[in-house]
Chain A
């Protein structure tokens, strides 16, 4: 009996009238946990009952504590007939199971009924007494902390980042059981809610066990999803990154003993060397001397904590041929090997994180993705969800091999998703191939020197852009140039990633939201034929989405995409693709060329004129965008910026694999360009449409910016006003004109109008930025398209927005200061080291890069988008693909493109400390944000994960204001329930909030509708920075001075 759960029912308020005669209610409460139920007395004739019950005590296993939710049911007592249910409250008691989170849950919870919505509130107090259980074979994993946040939580420090954890559980969907025919919709909905609650508890517990096995104590970037597979069942799956986290109590507690091999030592980034000055300019010490230890254990097995017993590896310099002759070469190879070793132990070296501790991310290769079309079959044995496991394992294997092909050993910013229509399911996974610093990955002792040198070799702000793969042995043809920042390493001309912009990245100008939208009609078909049709369409869609992204990126005069998320949705008669990302101009990468349009029939004079008109429009747009996003890279002699006929630079390529074996990678070179520039060839109306659609995207009104990442590059002075919102739109397509073009236009208009509406609604917040804009598309019915957007609008101070040029060191310091611990570790090194690290390029190198540009045959450099010939090629390629039974998979896209230069002008740190004090923190206000932070505030405590699932159904749709009224009320109720739970935990905000699912179904003829919503986030306590200043926490201003920080370190 390792746990005692205690519940007290205090009171109710605003209860609905259940007795028409008296206009009152005789309410009582049932408290249920597991199989035990307690009841309160009936409180007669009141809408505001005061039960003030005794403590109901449940003695339970901690396994049950983790799995089961506490169910509180409010009923109306009826002497003669059955008691009527008023509504329910489900309370997840998981946050009470680990010491650092909440200690008590106490507060007013909305009483929720799946048919009537919220019906009053109930005041409940919940406590848990846990007894320590030392049983090694226990099935519970109490104490493992879960975070939805996809970065290291603000008041913790990552000791070790262990890696990928995943789990899935399956069950039959109660909605599809035979019993559903005879029970009420309410009973069916409640069965579903209860089951999902139970399954998420179980899933979380199982993941927790895996984390304990890995010797971690937390899961970061926890993402749990439901697959409603209909007839074939219900799948709840989750992925996350196992970590060992340390709570930061006070910064002074983490002063290292320098160069000590103690475990604490290596946990502290950048602080190993007490005197960084010697390193900043010193020559490289021979790398061979370094030894690295790692534990030889396999993934999930216990790692040895003693470094002595570990295998030592002496890295071979020069491994990874072809990199010789470059300063960073041997080092890079060493690093790679080192990381590789550390990562090879893991089955899947994946990380769900999108932002990383400084120094963690070494190089970024590019986006890797994999999709697979599956036919759903009934899950016969829910206890052995082997097929689903196997499906995902397959996809992950593929991702891993793609990453390997890019010379990377890890995948960061990893996520998985599904799209289900009838019995066909598309599984998708994507991430960013990367090379990581092994320091955080293993348990053994690692000397500090490697990291130290790393910092020197890879100048801050551009290191992650450098190619991880071998230049002479590139996995795909890409155009490389020397890095504009350090002039030493090669960079691609365009970089696509799924992660957030690293804080230390040097960005010019501001970023913007870039979306590619695409629809494809598909014939209605059954089962295998359907799966085949879909998998035939997928490569085309991926290609087009990618082309659109590339074109739009060029049109914005930017060269990198962050936070890329491509969603492919399957419907009965169409496929939809929606890609969202934040475009930025990375200073390290070359300047993107423009777009040139070429016509196919040059003889026609008016046509020519039309083409040149279009060309002019495109050039104007590019120029306008440059101005809008303040992209002013320093003028470079041999490049005329904004030239209508730009230097050929673009290279895109699709790398796909369609076989079951990941080794057998079939490549398809779709960059069949033999043209001289990035050319858009207009040879038919289709292409014309595409060019037009490029130009129809209107920029946000002035004062507005938008991005889908955590922070907006180029804006760093957030003020404290935030507004999180969800907007849903459903359009009905007229079935008459269902052509691809019409579809595309409809879809494009839908998204653009939605954005316009958002800008209008939030106009009072100007100047503001929409951050973490998250679009989700679904196709609930034949002719319906549903788009759901969740984002947060944050105001910023316009006056300060313009003075953005900051030195790199300052930026890092600011960043560091947000997390107390790092504050102490950074300053010495950075102040001495990175301030002068603005290498203005020696002329020689400059020339070199220029010549290498022109040296490569033009034919190889360009990509032209020629739709007609593309189709031919693709179809012939597709013929090669053998569809195996009902499992068909399609591959990944890797893209790399290159170009010009930039200045070391630093810009864009988020979190400005000078946020004006905000005194409006009224009691009871709970903020919600999809971001991991709250502007102008500091998160002091994480209270636990919020993971809630609700079903709402109505049989009086018209009376509730139609579909809009119904869904509006439901979403407002979901927000209310999330806020109430957070408040009851003692929190005042939800960070990393996400609405993972919003499944809406209607039947207007029957006056019915049903909606399922799944949301999650981290409940936190935050303190306004203005209030914090009273309490003496280290202020960033102080830490900017080396002398000051030096003092701090030595104390």
Chain B
């Protein structure tokens, strides 16, 4: 006796969170059944392995059918085929777009191309995440990227609107998209100690302060340059950074800059005294990195350079680096003080 066909269709689509997780993690049906058996579900419910197998198959089939809709979450909300309560819909979407820290660190800043996709095998082996799951995560990044790439307006808002993600997840995706677009190098050994969260924090500040969107939002200049507002760095701004050399060259300006920065950061920085003591070295390093940002290659290496060419890392890098863009902020804010 073999089961040729075995299905269960509810008027309200049944979603088993545990099975959904196993599915997202890329386990095959048999692996998922084995894992569920290990979880002790058979003892709890008195079910047999055959029942579990049938149940798992059923859920996998449902998820497979839902996947098409999950690629465009607003479709999931408007579709008529699966009747799913709103809270469940949100859960499906959020979990589908969730990603593994280990995986995102591997692809952050890489071009989301077919080439990268081919490397997923290696990433899978390296991280222990199933290839299937890697593919899903990669495809999610790429899909979000494709959709918001050409859009105007706030990156986070666009992502939220088109993928119905939670605020936190939308911000993470904004960071991923921003890094992918600017191809920041994050994979170097020296940068390994930095977490995705660290980079996401940098990305958020850079989006706020370094992009065309940041400029566009300035009241002086409301309508011009609205394309790719949050995605691309403001070239003009990068150009202007060259002028900062004066901050290192001119002693008065260096002192003025120091006092301004110290006033701004006093009490806000754990390593304030070290910063104050090292300000000159620090400033020089930063200004040198900043001055080079006119070249694409140097933009990509921004984080590498920040770590290598500034003394940021010496006094406990973990505390310092995330603040690096803060320095950038002060740089940007300092634009108004520029003697030009």
Q: Which residues of B contact A732 (CB under 8 A)?
A: 1-2, 4
Contact at A723–B8, with CB atoms within 8 Å?
no
Contact at A118–B45, with CB atoms within 8 Å?
no
Contact at A926–B8, with CB atoms within 8 Å?
no
A750 CA to B82 CA in the complex, in Å?
27
Q: Which residues of A contact B78 (CB under 8 A)?
A: 13-14
A347 within 8 A of B: no
Contact at A784–B7, with CB atoms within 8 Å?
no
B12 to A, closest residue via Cβ:
A723
Q: Which residues of A contact B86 (CB under 8 A)?
A: 922
Contact at B1–A757, with CB atoms within 8 Å?
no
A5 CA to B82 CA in the complex, in Å?
32
Asked if A760 meets B5 with Cβ closer than 8 Å, knowing A118-B80, A922-B85, A976-B81, the reply is no
Sorted nearest first, the 10 A-B pairs with minimum C-beta distance are A730-B5, A725-B10, A730-B4, A971-B9, A724-B11, A968-B7, A928-B11, A976-B80, A727-B8, A976-B81
Q: How far is the CB of A919 from chain B (nearest CB, A)?
A: 12
A234 within 8 A of B: no
Contact at A761–B11, with CB atoms within 8 Å?
no
B51 within 8 A of A: yes
B6 within 8 A of A: yes
B48 within 8 A of A: yes
A394 within 8 A of B: no
Q: Which residues of A contact B7 (CB under 8 A)?
A: 727-729, 964, 967-968, 971
A726 CA to B4 CA in the complex, in Å?
17
28 A–B pairs (Cβ distance < 8 Å), ordered by A: A14-B78, A108-B80, A118-B81, A701-B46, A723-B11, A727-B7, A727-B9, A729-B6, A731-B2, A731-B3, A731-B4, A749-B1, A753-B50, A753-B54, A757-B6, A759-B47, A925-B83, A964-B5, A964-B61, A968-B9, A968-B62, A971-B7, A972-B81, A973-B81, A975-B81, A976-B81, A976-B83, A979-B11
B166 within 8 A of A: no
A965 CA to B3 CA in the complex, in Å?
14
Contact at B61–A972, with CB atoms within 8 Å?
no
Contact at A965–B45, with CB atoms within 8 Å?
no
Q: How far is the CB of A47 from chain B (nearest CB, A)?
A: 11
Q: Which residues of A contact B57 (CB under 8 A)?
A: 964
Q: Which residues of B contact A753 (CB under 8 A)?
A: 50-51, 54
A191 within 8 A of B: no
A749 CA to B48 CA in the complex, in Å?
13
Contact at A760–B47, with CB atoms within 8 Å?
yes
Q: Which residues of B contact A113 (CB under 8 A)?
A: none
A763 CA to B52 CA in the complex, in Å?
12
Q: How far is the CB of A782 from chain B (nearest CB, A)?
A: 13
Q: How far is the CB of A988 from chain B (nearest CB, A)?
A: 12
A746 within 8 A of B: yes
Residue interface mask A960-974, B partner, CB < 8 A = 1: 010111011101110
A729 CA to B54 CA in the complex, in Å?
10
B327 within 8 A of A: no
Across the interface, A760 reaches (CB within 8 A) one of B55, B75, B80, B82, namely B55
Q: How far is the CB of B125 from chain A (nearest CB, A)?
A: 29
A734 within 8 A of B: yes
- Which of B2, B8, B11, B86 counts the most chain A CB atoms within 10 A? B11
Q: How far is the CB of A701 from chain B (nearest CB, A)?
A: 6
**A723-B11, A968-B9 given. 4 additional CB < 8 A pairs?**
A14-B78, A753-B54, A969-B65, A975-B9
Contact at A756–B51, with CB atoms within 8 Å?
yes
Q: How far is the CB of A43 from chain B (nearest CB, A)?
A: 19
Q: How far is the CB of A725 from chain B (nearest CB, A)?
A: 4
B14 within 8 A of A: yes
B79 within 8 A of A: yes
Contact at A734–B5, with CB atoms within 8 Å?
no
B62 to A, closest residue via Cβ:
A968
B297 within 8 A of A: no
Residue interface mask B51-67, A partner, CB < 8 A = 1: 11011011001101100
A517 within 8 A of B: no
List residues of B (1-40) whose CB comes within 8 Å of A's CBs. Answer: 1-14
Asked if A961 meets B81 with Cβ closer than 8 Å, knowing A753-B50, A753-B51, A763-B45, the reply is no
A980 within 8 A of B: yes
A195 within 8 A of B: no
Q: Which residues of B contact A926 (CB under 8 A)?
A: 83
Contact at A979–B55, with CB atoms within 8 Å?
no
Residue interface mask A47-79, B partner, CB < 8 A = 1: 000000000000000000000000000000000
- Which of B1, B48, B86 counts the most chain A CB atoms within 10 A? B1
Q: How far is the CB of A859 from chain B (nearest CB, A)?
A: 43
Q: Which residues of B contact A763 (CB under 8 A)?
A: 45
A647 within 8 A of B: no
Asked if A734 meets B11 with Cβ closer than 8 Å, knowing A763-B45, A979-B80, the reply is no
Asked if A725 meets B83 with Cβ closer than 8 Å, knowing A730-B4, A756-B48, A757-B54, the reply is no
Q: How far is the CB of A23 from chain B (nearest CB, A)?
A: 13
A953 within 8 A of B: no
A121 to B, closest residue via Cβ:
B80
- Which of B9, B61, B79 counts the most chain A CB atoms within 10 A? B9
A925 CA to B55 CA in the complex, in Å?
25
Q: Which residues of A contact B64 (CB under 8 A)?
A: 961, 965
Residue interface mask B65-95, A partner, CB < 8 A = 1: 1000000000100111111011000000000
Contact at B2–A701, with CB atoms within 8 Å?
no
A110 within 8 A of B: yes
Across the interface, B1 reaches (CB within 8 A) one of A733, A786, A963, A971, namely A733
Q: How far is the CB of A913 from chain B (nearest CB, A)?
A: 24
Q: Which residues of B contact A731 (CB under 8 A)?
A: 1-4
Contact at B10–A730, with CB atoms within 8 Å?
no
Contact at B85–A968, with CB atoms within 8 Å?
no
A733 CA to B4 CA in the complex, in Å?
10
List residues of A (737-776) whose CB comes within 8 Å of B's CBs. Answer: 746, 749-750, 753, 756-761, 763
Q: Which residues of A contact B82 (CB under 8 A)?
A: 972, 976
Q: How far is the CB of B331 from chain A (nearest CB, A)?
A: 44
Q: How far is the CB of A950 from chain B (nearest CB, A)?
A: 14
Contact at B11–A760, with CB atoms within 8 Å?
no
Contact at A975–B1, with CB atoms within 8 Å?
no
A701 CA to B48 CA in the complex, in Å?
12
A811 within 8 A of B: no
A927 within 8 A of B: yes
Q: How far is the CB of B12 from chain A (nearest CB, A)?
A: 6
Residue interface mask B255-266, A partner, CB < 8 A = 1: 000000000000
A965 CA to B81 CA in the complex, in Å?
14
List residues of A (973-996) whose CB comes within 8 Å of B's CBs. Answer: 973, 975-976, 979-980
Contact at B11–A725, with CB atoms within 8 Å?
yes
A920 within 8 A of B: yes
Q: Which residues of B contact A701 (CB under 8 A)?
A: 45-46
Q: Which residues of B contact A920 (CB under 8 A)?
A: 85
Contact at A14–B79, with CB atoms within 8 Å?
yes
Contact at A110–B5, with CB atoms within 8 Å?
no
Across the interface, A963 reaches (CB within 8 A) one of B5, B48, B80, namely B5
Q: Which residues of B contact A750 (CB under 8 A)?
A: 1
Contact at A760–B45, with CB atoms within 8 Å?
yes
Contact at B75–A14, with CB atoms within 8 Å?
yes
- Which of B12, B55, B62 counts the most chain A CB atoms within 10 A? B12
Q: How far is the CB of A491 from chain B (nearest CB, A)?
A: 38
Contact at B83–A760, with CB atoms within 8 Å?
no
Contact at B1–A746, with CB atoms within 8 Å?
yes
Q: Which residues of B contact A976 (CB under 8 A)?
A: 80-83
Q: How far is the CB of A1005 from chain B (nearest CB, A)?
A: 14
A724 CA to B54 CA in the complex, in Å?
19
A925 CA to B50 CA in the complex, in Å?
33
A463 CA to B13 CA in the complex, in Å?
44
Asked if A975 meets B54 with Cβ closer than 8 Å, knowing A723-B10, A967-B7, the reply is no
A562 CA to B217 CA in the complex, in Å?
74
Q: Which residues of B contact A724 (CB under 8 A)?
A: 10-11
Q: Which residues of A contact B79 (CB under 8 A)?
A: 14
Q: Which residues of A contact B83 (CB under 8 A)?
A: 925-926, 975-976, 979
Contact at A963–B12, with CB atoms within 8 Å?
no
